[in-house]
Structure 1
Amino acid sequence: MGTKVDLEIKDEQGAVIRGWEEDVHRGLNRITWNLRRDAFRRPETEPTAGGDSEERPSGIRVMPGTYTLTVSFGDDQRSSTFAVLPDPREGATSRDRLAKYEVLLEAGALRESIADAISLVYRIRADLDAALAAADRADPKTDEAGSEDPATVDSSLEDMAQDIRKRLTEIEEMLWVPEGTKGIVYSDDRAWNRLGYVMGSMQSSWDAPTPAQLAYLREAEQVAASVLLDLDSLYNEQVDSFRAAVREAGLGLVPEEDPPRVP
């Protein structure tokens, strides 16, 4: 009967760069690593079902250097250090490789900020729906001096939610092409797609980043910074006001969190 082991790769600084599970059996097992670190985070557009998250796919190639593999089976752990050697077929120098790797990490961190922003857009929408559904389920309150008509409260929340949804749609369409969009849509001006293009271009070789690639990355940073600033403003103004109205209505939804920013 097969079982699983957990594997973890650490770099020379001790940072975990890759983790995954493998099915194993009694006897000799062959396990390989494709010399890539974990992929950068992607947007979460559906609520997670709880429990352990799915294994991340692999991402960019790692630099030549010394790495540590840790294999865990239950409470038992074994670690071993090994070297990743440069591909002799590639002519890039160590300095070029390092320059490319560092820029890819920079671009990846920015793409994770964009992914977090997109995820936040979807969470805000879900919170709006939950708050309005709770308002619909709330029992009508008995008339009291100074109390507000529940129908008026519901209408006010609905109006606020509608304005927020409109801004969320505008912001999301600047970040990427929303899921479910039909037809062929021009996407080269979206922050997510801009970054994906330049990262794909840079991963074609270990040569040092070209001036064009760096310029395109800076443009993507500017686009992302502008959109994330819009999201930050929306969250700290309109969403905050909606949250206060929800609390005042006694619904207790819409949790607070910090919007993502450009790293």
Structure 2
Amino acid sequence: MKWTQGVPTVPVRDIAVHPRENDLIIATHGRALFIIDDISPLRELSAALLKKKLHLFKVPEAYQFIRGGLSSYLSPGDTAFTGENKRFGACFTYYLLPSKKKGQEKKDPQAANRRALMERMRQAGMMGQRAARMMAMRSTSSRVKIIIENKEGQVIAQLNGPEEKGINRVYWNFQEQLPAQNEQSTRGRFGRGGVTVLPGEYTVRIKYEGQEVSQTFQVKTDPRFTIDLKVLQENYKMAKEAQKLSLALNKARQRIKETQEALKTIATALRQQRSPQMKELMQATRKLEGRLKDFSERLNPTPPKQGIADRSAGLQSQVMRAVMGIVRAGIEPVNEPARVRYEKAKVKLEKFIQELNDFFSTEVTNYQKKLQEAGFSLLKSYQPIEIKK
């Protein structure tokens, strides 16, 4: 049987299984070493297991190991070799026997091309590996639901898993899912998640077409370092509070953007009507647009010129830097400069939010009343259609 997941066609001179990690180490002729992380699921395979629709293999202990940063050499030339490290996060491995539903038997003609592209990305260094992981996440099925709960039974994260026949593997990066919001969340680049969880016991549940499997597993700290659990708990508490600022900021940005888009649509419709009343509404619309632009500029000022510009004076940048200073404290206590920066940003954001709330409760509400009194609607009134006889 040929193993096709990440190992090229090449002579193999020796293999070994790591006694602690259960990683399969493959020594090739001329292509260096290849490591397949934790092959324990392969040892669990049996004829009876392969007949199951869904099976969750034993979840290993997950370590929140401390990661270092090294982008490249000082003078990398035209390329730089970067070996792929072990994935960070809790590893869930499950066996799936997908059902063949009518209308779903057709194979994706681009699936093989995507797999080949992802393999080339993995071999292209660190940036290619990250791109491959993001591409794999986008290709996961929404029918395979992976739910992580804490010891109290609260759902803290939800993932989608691949719906491929055979053994599938998914990683959870120890981050809680952001709280649900009524308004669309603007989470920034790469879909940043929530706060990193504390060490302890967690439960994973995988659901697929009426089937459910679950297991408890342990999240542990990096054993190479002496870590104070009280510091982690205090940092976690502060990070949860700081996250509230980030969520409020995102909600404010989204509300301003949505209202600006609505006013733009209304202004377009008002231009087509020539009555004096509509002219007054147009003036009111322009006034609101100016006020919203002021709010937007306070959050994220427009650069005075093209190119890379300093946006640090904006409230958005100040809040995000302050929040990240708390969230990224890691295993060390939050230092005093980070605390002071956070408190200052919190005061500024609270003042901004209060002014924005007052604006919507008064000026926007009065504007809506004017639209109603003028009988303005984006929908035209039509006479019944008749076929003349």
Give your verdict on TM over 0.5. yes
C-alpha distance in 1, partners of 2:247/2:193?
A: 15
Asked whether 1:69 is paired with 2:194, we answer no
Unpaired runs of at least 5, structure 2:
1-106, 109-139, 379-389
Q: How is 1:1-263 mapped onto 2 (pairs within 5 angstroms)?
A: 4=141, 5-38=144-177, 56-136=191-271, 151-177=275-301, 182-202=306-326, 203-251=328-376
Q: Distance in 2 between matches of 1:178 and 1:77?
A: 51
Distance 1:39 1:177 in 2: 27
- Please give the alpha-carbon distance, in whole angstroms, between the structure 1 residues aligned to 2:376 and 2:154: 42
Kindly name which structure, 1 or 2, has the bigger radius of gyration based on alpha carbons: 2
Which shifted more, 152-161 or 84-93?
Answer: 84-93
Structure 1's 44 and 225: CA in aligned 2 closer, same or farther, altered over 3 A?
Answer: same
Whole-Å separation in 1 of the counterparts to 2:315 and 2:165: 48
| Separation of aligned partners in 1, 2:233 and 2:254 | 31
Residue pair 2:149, 2:202 contacting (<8 A) in 1 also: yes
For 1:166, what is the secondary structure of its paired residue? helix
Give per-residue Cα distances to partners, 1:48-96, cap 9 Å, x unaligned.
xxxxxxx954344221112121211123222222111112234331110
Task: Report what 2:76 is aligned to.
Answer: none
Q: How many residues align?
A: 233
Aligned to 1:146: none
CA contact (8 A) 2:235 2:329 kept: no
Kindly tell me: are residues 160 and 15 of structure 1, through their superposed partners in 2, closer, same or farther at Cα, counting changes over 3 Å?
A: farther
Amino acid at match of 1:169: K
Separation of aligned partners in 1, 2:341 and 2:234: 16
User: Structure 1 vs Structure 2: percent identity of aligned residues?
Assistant: 19
TM-score by length of structure 2 reads 0.54
CA distance in 2, matches of 1:104, 1:27: 39
Q: Bigger shift: 161-170 or 34-43?
A: 34-43
1:41–1:115 Cα change, 3 Å? farther
Structure 1 residues 220 and 199: alpha-carbon distance in aligned structure 2, compared to 1, 3 A threshold: same
For the residues of structure 2 that align with 1:40 and 1:178, how far apart are their CA atoms?
A: 30
Deviating above 4 A after TM superposition, structure 1's stretches of 4 or more consecutive aligned residues are: 39-46
Q: CA RMSD in A?
A: 3.0
SS at match of 1:120: helix
Indicate how the Cα distance of structure 1 residues 152 and 77 shifts in structure 2: closer, same or farther if over 3 A, else same. farther
Which residue of the partner structure matches residue 36 of structure 2? Answer: none
